[in-house]
Structure 1
Amino acid sequence: MQINISNAAIKWFQEEVGLKKGNKVRFYTQIYGSSPVQENFALGFTVDNEPVDMSVKTEIEGITFFIEGTDLWFFNGHDLHVDYNPQKDEVEYSYTISE
């Protein structure tokens, strides 16, 4: 499994969330919502500098984006892609089957 963050999404995280080098962003499962990989569950994020079980991570511009082991089930064999949607002015998630 991989986490892919677009340059536009990185810029959004830096400008809107105020992230800088050394910060950590955790992607986590929410019990409400929906996604293409899990019905009745959605993905959220939080700034979390104290990971417990950082199972998947990627670092871009000194910012670590990660998923805890307890949330890996959500992805069901898919990679996570995070991009910025300028019409909604927010990040959006898409998923592709892991190779």
Structure 2
Amino acid sequence: MKITITEAAQKWYEEEIGIPEGYGIRFLGKVYGSSPVHEGFSLGITVDKPDEVMALTTINHIPYFVDANDEWFFSGYDLEVILDETLNEPEYLFHKNN
């Protein structure tokens, strides 16, 4: 699994979410909602410390990651995070990987 984040989305995280030193943005699967890859589950984020990491991208010393416990949600997909300019919030795109 690969995580890519556009510069605009990365700046949004830095400006809108307080990320203490040593912490990062964790992407996870959560109950309720829906996503392009799971009905009844949606993608969530939390500020957390990386532990058992399945995928990691670091930008400006901030880790953006998926924990191994959330492998079930992301299995078979790469995650691309872009900024929706109209809503001024991140948009999450899933790309099937090999």
- TM-score, scaled relative to structure 1: 0.89
- Bigger strand fraction: 2
Unaligned runs of 5+ in 2: none
Following TM superposition, the consecutive aligned residue runs of length 4 or more in structure 1 with deviations greater than 4 angstroms are: none
Give % identity. Answer: 43
Deviation of the 1:76 alpha carbon: 3.2
Matched residue pairs, number? 98
Aligned counterpart, 1:33: 33
Secondary structure of 2:34's counterpart equals coil
Q: In the TM superposition, what whole-angstrom CA distance separates every residue of 1:28-57 from its partner, at most 9, and x where no partner exists? A: 1110110111111000111102x3311211
Counterpart of 2:67 in structure 1 is 68
Q: When the two structures are superposed, what TM-score results if normalisation uses the length of structure 2?
A: 0.90
C-alpha distance in structure 2 between counterparts of 1:85 and 1:32, whole Å: 22
Asked if the contact 1:54/1:66 (under 8 Å) is kept, the reply is: yes
Consecutive unaligned residues of structure 1, counting only runs of 5 or more, are none
Aligned CA RMSD, in angstroms, stands at 1.5
Compute the displacement of 1:90 (Å): 1.1
Secondary structure, aligned partner of 1:36: coil
